[in-house]
Amino acid sequence: MNIVGDFLTRSALRFPDKTALVDGEISFTYAQLDDAVNRVAAGMRALGLVPGDRVAYHGNNRWELVVTMFAAIQAGFILVPLNVMLRPAELEHILAESGLRLILTTAEGEATARALQGRFSYELSSYDDAGGLFAGWMKGGGATPEAQANRRPDDILALFFTSGTTGKPKGAPIDHEFVSHLAHSWVIACRYTSSEVYLVMTPMFWAVAPIHGILPVVLAGGTVVLMNRFDLDKCCELVQKHRVTSFFAVPTMYTLLIDKKSDALAAMKSLRVCSVAGAPISAEVVSKFESLTGATLLNIYGATEAGAISREMLGAPRRPGCAGTLGGTIEAKLVDAEGRPVPPGTAGEILVRGLTAIKGYWQQGRVNPASLPDGWFHTGDIGVLEDGFFLRIVDRAKDMIITGGANIYPAEVERVIAAHSGVQMCALIGIPDRVMGELPVAYVVLKQPGAATPEALEAFCRDQLSSYKVPRHFVIVESLPLTPTGKIQKVELRKIAGQTAAAAAAKRS
């Protein structure tokens, strides 16, 4: 049995002629998608890959990535989605940890993947190469494919790398049990049916699009519509053209839609239920979106390591500003700094374990339960249970910055800035921004006056970091607030930034 692989197999049997996937002018029925997946799975096997081997897709959203995902699942491989925005230096640790055998890339990512191939010895081919592996597999004969690989509930099907607060990418291994329970929970919460038309707006190298979006919709027999990259005009066009009923987006996307496309939102009468996560969203934005579209916007709280820790559900009570109630697929507790459970109404760190939580991080080619010493995943987020049920997130991991739904881990960016020859000390903090949620700002102490300019520091960072991680501002200062032991006091730095912003606003008025 292949628990998650059966999502597609069964829908292909039930709805063979129904549209399963749309990417621009290209579309697949369920029968056609199943056939394409079997061809690619067979091609991967012909390379000598065996169940448990790691394979990657590397690119922005396109139909080839969906086929690759299902082929990997069917054949029992472990899928490792790679962020196409990452530079070679950012990918090195991921490649070393994952032990990839195959990377299927795109024209936009090929140079990066090829630059590292010699060090890590993986097979590499581009979807855009008409003579490449993937194109050859799709043209292959119609021989009966091999049976699905049998998979146990605890067999890993995907490995998503998510940085910890240290900034070092950590592999979160997602198994069949995790995905099966999570997908069924989405079907229940959103009441997905075969009539669903789901628009994928977030990148497939993040867990949300493949694990929380595509797989649950395919389980229900619905239609998946791909957007290559998020674009306001394209979003509105695709919703209207395909009569989209559902999508997931981060708060920044909803804010932009409301601010810039309110008339288009008001015309989106096909929308039925949408969802949001990735960062806190204001009750005002939720209310405005729902009043414009008539759709319900469900608030979700989770992490790559733990899916849907809490969620709102259609037909269930909701509370503005909260992310629903704790999910039925996990066990959660809120604890104080000493690890003791706190009573309802008291803020505490959120810890989880259960069916849709990882059993340990990926280390040295396997899941290492010892990486979660007490068996609980510590989110680093602070929440409070209102009335004992509704979870409100009151703070996040103390240093992480969320900009447009993307996580920025200051330690990673600070290491890059500190490597500049003119920098003595630096700190990265997030400042509030209505559209993006937060913007990264770097405070820098130079070794000597004039040793670097903000422009030079920005250029230095752009050579080594993805664009969204590059600080929006570089503030040159004489010193940073420090503790007696020499640690940077970011709480004090945020206060200083807030006072500076307030003074600037007062001056403008």
Residue ranges of the chain with per-residue pLDDT less than 50: 143, 165, 485
CA distance 369 to 252: 35
Residue 474 lies in a domain: yes
The domain spanning residue 485 has which CATH number?
3.30.300.30
Do 386 and 426 lie in one domain? The reply is no
pTM of the model: 0.85
Q: What is the total residue count of the chain?
A: 509
DSSP 343: P
Do 435 and 472 lie in one domain? The reply is yes
Q: Which residues contact 452 (CB under 8 A, 6 or more apart)?
A: 420, 422, 423, 444, 446, 460, 476
Residue 197 lies in a domain: no
* Of 141, 174, 207, the domain-final residue: 174
Residue 445 lies in a domain: yes
CA distance 322 to 316: 13
Do 338 and 471 lie in one domain? The reply is no
pLDDT at residue 485 in the model: 47
CA dihedral 95, 97, 103, 108 (to 10 degrees): -40
Do 4 and 117 lie in one domain? The reply is yes
Do 391 and 411 lie in one domain? The reply is no
Residue 200 lies in a domain: no
Residue 468 lies in a domain: yes
Do 393 and 428 lie in one domain? The reply is no
CA distance 394 to 387: 15
pLDDT at residue 165 in the model: 46
Which residue, chain included where needed, has tokens 């597609």?
Answer: 8
Q: What is the CA radius of gyration of the chain?
A: 23
Domain of 392 in residue numbering reads as 322-397
User: Which own/partner pairs from 443-446 qualify as long-range (CB within 8 Å, at least 24 positions apart)?
Assistant: 443/475, 443/477, 443/480, 443/493, 444/417, 444/474, 444/475, 444/476, 444/477, 445/476, 445/477, 445/478, 445/479, 445/480, 446/422, 446/476
Do 1 and 103 lie in one domain? The reply is yes
Let me know the angle formed at the C-alpha of 207 by 205 and 210, rounded to the nearest 5 degrees.
80
The total domain count for the chain is: 3
* Of 139, 174, 209, the domain-final residue: 174
Do 38 and 145 lie in one domain? The reply is yes
Do 351 and 420 lie in one domain? The reply is no
* Of 350, 381, 397, the domain-final residue: 397
Do 499 and 374 lie in one domain? The reply is no
Do 501 and 362 lie in one domain? The reply is no
Residue 455 lies in a domain: yes
Which residue, chain included where needed, has tokens 């998650």?
Answer: 4
Residue 481 lies in a domain: yes
The domain spanning residue 376 has which CATH number?
2.30.38.10
Do 51 and 102 lie in one domain? The reply is yes
Let me know the angle formed at the C-alpha of 283 by 263 and 441, rounded to the nearest 5 degrees.
90
Residue 384 lies in a domain: yes
